[in-house]
Amino acid sequence: MATVLDEIIEGVREDMLQRMEQTPLDEMKKRARQQKPALDALAALCGASPETVEIISEVKRSSPSKGELADIPSPADLAASYEAGGAAVISVLTEQRRFKGSLADLAAVRERVNIPVLRKDFTVDEYQIWEARAFGADLVLLIVAALDDETLKRFLDLTHQLGMNALVETHTVEEIERAKAVGAKIVGVNVRNLKTLEVNNGHFGELAAHLPADAVTVAESGVAGAQDVAAYAAAGAQAVLVGEALVKSGEPTRSVRDFREAGAAARAEFLNRN
């Protein structure tokens, strides 16, 4: 029986093949090489100090679990509001069927902000990595559950060859070990089960001890407010990815600031305990 992840990936492949017909890989590689060098997302997520908890702020119109989230007439304006609040990275959904995103959104955000931009999509082919760079992304998402070990390593290597970083997303101890094996430097734990879409915020804390000590650790999903950011920070997260809570807040700049403050206070307590 196909999972939600399987169904999403099937659609991603179909849409990618249509884009490849319009812009073949060789042409996409040419466009990628003409881009300005990628910004250092790893440095941005490391933060100014050990007590800092960085926020990856997401441009997200819709989701498979919640449906329509927000009308975003200008992704660039929203991203600029995030940057003004102190966001370290802007995440832009580019999957079009379930998330209503686009590469046009990515390009618009890249043009507007001066911080790293993550192409948030389901990467299943190297074409998408070249495409991400061609549209200005500094960071791509690699979901361990969607890739075998050889492909994960190859995609991560290509990402680095293009000067970018990768957020390597995990959901289990076994997937964390696979991320470690390929040398991932930014490792996320998504507390949403991509096969069922259920969310368990405590899942990050359950897996935190297994995360690599030499990588930036990111908590993904499940943030409704500052208290959730604080809880992730208290469990050891160095960065938190937030989508729904920010696009629905009405005050994105203030919300990012509040999330950073809550995270920093909890992170300081975590460091004192450890």
Residue 244: what pLDDT? 87
Containing domain of residue 188, as a range?
Answer: 4-273
Residue 2: what pLDDT? 74
β 117-120/239-242 pair status = unpaired
Cα angle 263-253-167, degrees, rounded to a multiple of 5: 55
Q: What is the CATH number of the domain that holds 163?
A: 3.20.20.70
Residue 58: what pLDDT? 95
Residue 68: what pLDDT? 74
Residue 196: what pLDDT? 82
CB atoms under 10 Å from CB of 72, counted, come to: 18
β 62-63/67-68 pair status = antiparallel
- Number of folded domains in the chain? 1
- Give 10-residue mean pLDDT values along the chain (274 residues): 85 96 98 97 90 94 76 92 98 93 96 98 97 98 97 98 98 97 97 86 95 96 95 96 89 96 94 88
